Amino acid sequence: MTASSQGRARVAAQGNGVDLGLFGPGSVSWRVMADPAFAIGGLRALFLQALYPRAMAGVAQNSDLSAPPWGRLLRTARYVHTVTFGTGEQAQRAGARVRAIHRALWAADPDSGERFRLDDVQALLWVHVVEAESFLSTARRAGLRLSAAEVDRYYREQVRAAQLVEIDPQLVPATAAQVADYYARMRPQLRLSDQAAHAARFLLWPPMSTKAQLYGARAGWLAVTGTAFGLLPGWARRLYRLPGLPGGDVPPAVTARLLRTAAMTLPTPLRRGSPILQEARARAAAAGYA
């Protein structure tokens, strides 16, 4: 569908009362978040987010880091898919729920001891930028083709997601160059805290039942998490003191491409994605998007 026909479809959808959400099917955000590499990007984001001690303290002091990571991963995926593919009302409700949780929870800064609420703007901004960049960079390295202009458009789109949790849009990097500058500014504040090391160990080696391990779940999980870790920037892997992982002879980008290709060859029912993504595609089709 051409840009002009997309514009006509959006106008028609608005006129027919079809809510296409914050971004809509013509957005780069839809392409990135619907990509089969989405889960690997989410894991990469968790490894990178943990290196900012203030953000890591907020998680560690309000959750059980010894619990299996599936619950947190699923909650994060559900939130991102709701914001990306849900209606405008669904996205606003999801943002409101997160804001309410953040306002109610406190943590202590691991360096200064200062008490802060979890809606601390610098921690929220770090989490947002790392998630947006991780989903994008992972999808691209796994094979999603995007032009430089499309990359910048994606970051501009993601400013709307940041606003849902009340981050000032003026603070949010909105181009690839601005994201790179933001990382450069943040690097002096990043380190491997005890909490971050503990969280990384549980991501790489979570508790599993003997039965699950017999069916290969351990090896499969390590392949995915090892790939996500390997896709971190070199400076982040060095902070973890793990420039690579055991068995890491295959470059992580190659593994990511293989995993993405495997996901794309699954039977159609397994490739349809989350229910909210399926609903979004149905709304888009009703609005005239191919």
The residue type at 237: R
Round the average pLDDT of the chain to a whole number and report it. Answer: 88
pLDDT of the residue at 208: 83
Q: Which pLDDT does position 242 carry in this prediction?
A: 80
CA triple 93-94-95, angle to 5 deg: 90
Nearest to 139 by CA among 124, 151, 156, 127: 151
**Is residue 182 very low, low, confident or very high in pLDDT (cuts 50, 70, 90)?**
very high
For residues 126-130, average pLDDT: 98
**What's the distance, CA 33 to chain centroid?**
8
> Does 8 reside within a domain?
no
DSSP state, residue 169: G
Of the pLDDT bands very low, low, confident and very high (cuts 50, 70, 90), residue 63 is: confident
Number of H helices, E strands in the chain: 16, 2
* Report for 58-67, 199-208, 229-238: range of highest mean pLDDT: 229-238
Does residue 287 lie within any of the structural domains?
no
Judge whether 274 lies within some domain.
Answer: no
Supply the range of the domain harboring residue 37: 18-265
Backbone angles phi, psi at 107, to 5 degrees: -150, 165
Contacts of 42 (CB under 8 A, 6+ apart): 73, 76, 77, 80, 131, 134, 135
Query: Across-strand partners of 108?
Result: 115
Q: Which pLDDT belongs to residue 256? A: 87
- The pLDDT value recorded for residue 111 is 86
Q: Does position 101 have pLDDT exceeding 90, yes or no?
A: yes
> What gap in Å lies between CA 120 and CA 131, rounded to an integer?
17
Total structural domains within the chain: 1
CA distances from 212 to 69, 207, 228, 254 (A): 15, 10, 21, 26
Q: Measuring CA to CA, which residue among 14, 15, 10, 8 is closest to residue 30?
A: 10
If you ran DSSP here, which 8-state letter would residue 215 be given?
Answer: T
pLDDT, average across residues 150-172: 98
* 272 found inside a domain: no
Is the alpha carbon torsion for 36, 225, 145, 183 positive or negative?
A: positive
Note the pLDDT tens digit of each residue in 213-224: 777 888 889 889
231: helix, strand or coil? coil
User: For residue 271, is it within any domain?
Assistant: no
* For residue 40, pLDDT beyond 60: yes
Q: Which burial class, exposed, middle or buried, applies to 281 when counting CB atoms under 10 A from its CB (0-12, 13-18, 19+)?
A: middle
pLDDT > 80? residue 225: yes
Query: Is residue 254 domain-resident?
Result: yes
pLDDT for 267? 61
Distance CA 268, CA 272 (A): 6
288 within a domain of the structure (yes/no): no
pLDDT mean over 264-286: 81
Judge if pTM exceeds 0.75: yes
Dist CA 46 CA 66 (whole Å): 15
At residue 87, the pLDDT reads 97
Residue 66 banded pLDDT, cuts 50, 70, 90: low
Q: Is 132 helix (H, G, I), strand (E, B) or coil?
A: helix
Confidence of residue 49 (pLDDT cuts 50, 70, 90): very high
Instruction: Summarize the confidence of residues 230-248 as an average pLDDT.
Output: 81
Under 8 Å between Cβ of 6 and 283: no
3-state secondary structure of 107: strand
> Is 12 inside a domain boundary?
no
CA-derived radius of gyration, the chain: 19
